[in-house]
Amino acid sequence: MSLPELWSELPAELAARLDPARPWDLLGAPLDELLAALASARIEIALDPRVVLAGDRVAIGAGTRIAPGATLHGPVRIGRDCEIRPGAFLRGGVWLGDGCVVGANVEVKRSILLDRAQAPHLNYVGDSILGRGVNLGAGAVLSNFRHDGCEIVIPAGEERLPTGRRKLGALLGDAVAIGCNSVLNPGTIVGAGTHIYTGVQLRSGVYAAHSLVKLRQTLAIGPRHER
């Protein structure tokens, strides 16, 4: 099964290593090499002393705003004109493009956010790739680990795609929008331009580009009896 359209543009170092049949492999050696090439400290802004820096190789581009209380654990690369809000935790192995937003108390772990991707409100982003212009609604979670700790295998039609990874979150194509309080199970691939509605519990699998995924629910509404 061919995977859906995902990203129109990647950093050159990643584009050269992309295997279209195994895009999750970018989160392995290609990401490590990209981050290993960072200078030990290349910070182009004045940091508030209440921003916590830990580990090695932290790069921050011009025009970026980092609020007091954020924790940046290297290696981490933050591009230009990003916004990192109070309490955000960039946990290491993180690459952010330009114009990205990481919101208050949001945790990002070993992930790639391409230009203008946003995880702005109480999100968890683990072992994932967010395409250009992706937006996560408040409380949306990209889960990255099975309870049994086994390899993550992605259902794809009649096939099952072994990833060789015990931790893998979501691969979201450009301009994907995830509704509030949605949870994407480990090993979810969503094609470019697709919208996931509020409250969806999305099972591992491959979802076509330019689609709508809606939750259908039935409400039982009856009279309220006073005591």
Helices (runs of H) and strands (runs of E) counted in the chain? 2, 27
Q: For residue 160, what are the β-bridge partners?
A: 155
Query: Terminus-to-terminus CA distance in the chain, angstroms?
Result: 59
**121 is a catalytic site residue:** yes
Q: If we measure between CA atoms, which residue out of 66, 91, 95 comes closest to residue 78?
A: 95
For 44-69, b/e burial (b = at least 16 CB within 10 A) is eeebeeebebeeebbbbbeebebbeb
Marked catalytic residue, from 121, 147, 210, 225: 121
Catalytic residues: 121
